[in-house]
Structures are given as C-alpha cells and as structure tokens.
Amino acid sequence: MIDGFLYQALVYITAAVICVPIAKRLGMGSVLGYLIAGIVIGPSVFGFIGKEGQDIMHFAEFGVVMMLFLIGLELEPAHFWKLRSRIFGLGGLQLCVTALILSAGLYYTFGFTWQAALGAGLALSKSSTAIVMQTLKEKGLHTTRAGRSAFSVLLFQDMAVIPVLALLPFLAAQPGHSSGWAQAGLLVGAVLAVVVMGRYIIAPFLRLVAAAGLRELCVAGSLLIVIATAYMMKLAGLSPALGAFVAGVVLANSEFRHELESDIEPFKGLLLGLFFIAVGASINFSLIAQQPLTILALVAAVLTVKACVLMVAGRLFKITLDQNFIFTVALSQVGEFAFVIFAFMGTLQLLPGSWIDIMMAVVALTMSTTPVFMLINERLILPRFGTRKTTEQDSNDIDVSNQVIIAGFSTFGSTVGRFLRANDIEATILDNNSEHVELLRKMGFRVFYGDATRLDILHSAGASEAKILVIAIDDQTTSCKLAATVRKHFPHLTVLSRANNNFDAYALMEHKVERVYRECLDASVRLSVDALVLLGFRRYSATRAAQKFIAYDEAAVQKLAQHRHDQKQYIHTTRQEIEMQEQLLANDRAAIHNLNDHAWESNNSDEMEKGTD
C-alpha cells in the first residue's frame, strides 16, 4: 500500500518537476506542462500510471474541490452584487446560447435523444475554472478586463452546475417514475444541509479551533471542512466540488474568510497540478486512434461554437478587441465539471457508455488546446490584429525621443510618470496590459505595448537614445531579466528600479542595478515618524532620525548584498528572510541613527557661543 503510494508520488512529482519548468521556459505556461507530464506518464506513452486512471481522476479532483471552495470564499455578497450584470448577463448569455447550439448539433448530427443532447450540451458549455484562472494568473492577465469577465462567466457556470445536476435526473426519468424527484430532492437537500451546517456548525467550530491559537490546527481545521463537505456530498452521490463551492459561499461572509483562504491556497496549487496531470493521463489515445474523425471533429466543433459565442458575447458587453481575443481563447475549452456531469449521465444511463468515453476524451482534448491557443494568440494573433506595438508617429513627432523610459505602468510606474509629467518631462512607457495602453494613449502618453524584456520593443521605444530607464514592473523576475538585457545591450542607460523587498533589491544589485528603491522603505519610515510624533516626539527631530535611518538602511542593504554568498539562483525562504532581519537588527543596535547626536549642543563651561537653550 505504502509502496504503491510512494511509487505513484514519485512518478507524479518527478514528471511535474521535469516537465513544468521546461514548459515554462518554452513560454507555454505551467498548465500545459502538467498536461504533457500527464500524457508522458500515462498509459499512452510510458504507462507508469495506467489502469488506475479512474482512481487518479478521483484523487486529483480534490484540487478542483479546493479551488471551488476558494472561489466560493471570494463570493462576498457585496462583491457579487457589484459584478451582477456581468455574471448574469455575460455568463448567462454564454451558457444558454452555447448549450442550445451544441445540444441542437448533437441532436441532429449524432442522433442523441433530446434529453441526452441537452445534458451533453450543458456539460460542454462549461469552461474550466482551473485552467483559466491558473493560466490568466500566470500571465498576469487576471486583473484585466478580459480576466475579470472570464471570472464572472466562470462563476456563473459554477453556480449553474447546481441546477444542471438537479435537472439531469428529470431528463433521465421515465414518465411517471419518481426517481427524478428523489434525486433532485436529494441534491437540494444536500445543498441546504451544507448551508445550514456552514452557518451553525462550521463557523462555531472554527471559532473553537481559532481559540486554541495554533496555526497548524487552523490549517487542519480548514482542510477538515473541505474534506468533510466533499465526503458528505460523495456519500449522497453528488459532486464534491459542488459541495465545497457552496460551503465556500456560506463561509465567505464569516470572519474566517481570509484565514481559510491563506490556509488552503498552498494545497490548492499542488493538487490542481495533480488534476492537470490526471487530465493528461486520462486522455484515451487508443480511443482517439479508433475514432479519430468523430473525436477530432467534435473537438473542433465544440471549440468553434464556444469561441464564436464568446466572441459575440464579449462584443455585446463592449470588451475591446485585444481583451476579447484573450477572453475568447481563455474560455474556449470544456471544464472539469463536464467530467462530473458526464459521469452522472452515465450512472443515470442518459447516454451510453461508449459515448461517455468519447465525450470524456473530447473534454480532455479541449482542455489541452487552451494553453496552446493562448500561446498562439499571444505570439501571432494579438501582435497582428491587436493593439499596435507603437503609435504611428506624427510627422512633427519623429525627432522627439524621450529621455526617460518607464517599464510597467501600474500604481508605482504611473506615480513616477505623473510626477515627471508635472515637471514637464515626458516619458515613454512600456506596458503589457492593453487596457492601460489604450487609456494612456488617449491621455497623450507615448506608449509601447508588449513585453519590456524584448530587445526589439526596447529598441523601438528608443532605448538607445534615452538616458534613464525606470523599472516599475510588479514582477521581480521580469525586472531582473529586463535589467540584465539593458546592461548587455544598452549599457549607457542609467537604471532606476523598484524593488518589492530586500531580497528583490539584492537580486537587482546582482544585475548591476545601482539605484534600487524598495517600495516599502519610505512609506514605513514616514509612518514611524508619525508614530513618534503621536508619542510626543518633536516632528523635526523625528524627521532627522528618519532621514538618517533611511541612509543607514540603504548602506546596510548595499553591504549585505556584497557579502552575500555567490549563489546564482537565490531561493527566497522565510528562514533566510528572518536571518537577514536578525543581521540588520544586530547592526542597528551598534549604529547610531537615532535622536542622540550632538547637533546644537555645546560645552557648558566656556563662553563660546555655540550652544542653544
């Protein structure tokens, strides 16, 4: 038993650890990496994990369960209300139209019964929350219009699973049979049970656990809630993911929301990875080999229908062209709930087993297309049809090249840009969010759209003529990459970079960036000055102490950066963070950077006029 488990764990983790970094390096994103890992270890290639494919799926589904619990948690009523038009409008439109078209297609083309066609259509109209959220987050697109719209649609789909699952037994029931009502009743009852439990059992239980004051106990408690809910739903013969989603929604309003989120987050990532591997492994290539035309035609048809509907829906909701492309491609696959719905249809005998297998293969295949299409969209479609990389230069603008380039125009970069502009310095801006770009162009900024680390973009932004490059990118890896590129190709540029914390500052200093600005330093010292003043200190003395402290701290970080051992890949762990803080604190005690200096003091004994009183 243990041997089996260890063997499986070994295979999965090895596959993930090898494939995912390669996939990331090739710019494919982690989801595709996991899927490929699954295909490689699955029965079709090496067969390390084989016959137990079904079991793998069950275990792997647990990642999806966690994720839906977290999504449920994010559904604060206030937030939900703000998104209502997009959730119900965009989500409802997408789901209904897609389901109708697909159902009709299945009914007429493959001769499904109308009940089976409707059930399958509804299943296929869902998209994969797991894949979409992971991919968008990885590409930093989840806060764009496309990302938020995709989230709304996914939310509606996840909610819609409840009525769909309730509906299926009715579709399956023979006239006059009562099992439909019983099944639907069971579902509604179970959902109600979760709601009631969330209110009256889980919340008091969490209060009890929290009172114990042990962090690991809170993690265990959070896991227990998810596992228990999932198990209960399973016992009732229902989807565990659905139960977790409902439990999440119920707990979204409790005081434990953020606690639960941070407790479960790390497990979610790993288990979702497992889920993607399992999807890869469960693609039945022998089935595809037997009926390649049917399956590939189905895949193509499903993707086309979904994409067209999404495109039109996005258009109706006034999403700009670039964002609409991203939105469409992101949501074009079929989601993990389709596995659940098809499995349920199998048990209800709505659809024959052979069709269920084909449908499962179709679902898995569409899932694996998304990362590829995202890549194609990003590299080939958007550069051609999307937001232009550069503005067409006005004839009187040709000779003007700005002295400052700002990479990244989020809050940090925009503050820099605004301040410079207030002082009549125009900056050229590089950003990879097409919405920012549109807005900035309207405001008259000179903006280049795209990945700032790319040499051609830097060239066209005028890096060879500029004097200063401001790196204001959120992501530190990108900042370092940009710093390295600039050092190599534009050594004349003075680089001023933002750093999130001390570790990022070190990393940047290693890339020979001399001017590093830790974003938290000035604000926290300013806050401390106010704290001292509230405690009765004189504001001027506190301000002087703060100025000295900042100078001291910057020198200390420079010094620590030099003495840091020569590790190429520096892995940032909490322990190292603590060690570094200890080092800083120890030095603090030795250095004088407080109020006790000797300014405005004098020797009392002589008459020399140097003293104050």
Contacting residues toward other proteins, per CB under 8 A? 537-544, 599-600, 602, 604, 607-613
Minimal distance, residue 527 CB to other proteins, in Å: 15
Which residue, 579 or 601, has its beta carbon nearer to other proteins? 601
With beta carbons less than 8 A apart as the criterion, state whether 241 and 129 touch. no
Q: How far is CA 109 from CA 94, 101, 103, 112, in A?
A: 22, 12, 10, 8
Closest CA to 469 of 230, 453, 456, 193: 453
Minimal distance, residue 427 CB to other proteins, in Å: 25
Which residue, 512 or 610, has its beta carbon nearer to other proteins? 610
Which residue, 392 or 607, has its beta carbon nearer to other proteins? 607
The residues with which 449 forms a beta bridge, in sequence order, are 431
Minimal distance, residue 603 CB to other proteins, in Å: 9
Q: How far is CA 125 from CA 2, 128, 168, 373, 495, in A?
A: 40, 10, 15, 18, 49
Question: Which single residue is written with the structure tokens 């009631």?
Answer: 196
10 Å CB burial of residue 232 (0-12, 13-18, 19+) is middle
User: Measured on CA atoms in the order 535, 541, 546, 548, is the torsion positive or negative?
Assistant: negative
Q: How far is CA 33 from CA 24, 256, 275, 324, in A?
A: 7, 34, 12, 25
* Chain centroid to CA 195: 28
Question: Which single residue is written with the structure tokens 């499995």?
Answer: 343
Distance CA 483, CA 51 (A): 49
Which residue, 5 or 600, has its beta carbon nearer to other proteins? 600
Which residue, 352 or 611, has its beta carbon nearer to other proteins? 611
Which residue, 410 or 541, has its beta carbon nearer to other proteins? 541
Minimal distance, residue 534 CB to other proteins, in Å: 13
Minimal distance, residue 529 CB to other proteins, in Å: 8
Minimal distance, residue 606 CB to other proteins, in Å: 8
Question: Which single residue is written with the structure tokens 């992501």?
Answer: 475
In the DSSP assignment, the letter for residue 396 is G
Which residue, 399 or 607, has its beta carbon nearer to other proteins? 607
Which residue, 574 or 596, has its beta carbon nearer to other proteins? 596
With beta carbons less than 8 A apart as the criterion, state whether 416 and 472 touch. yes
Minimal distance, residue 478 CB to other proteins, in Å: 34
Minimal distance, residue 411 CB to other proteins, in Å: 24
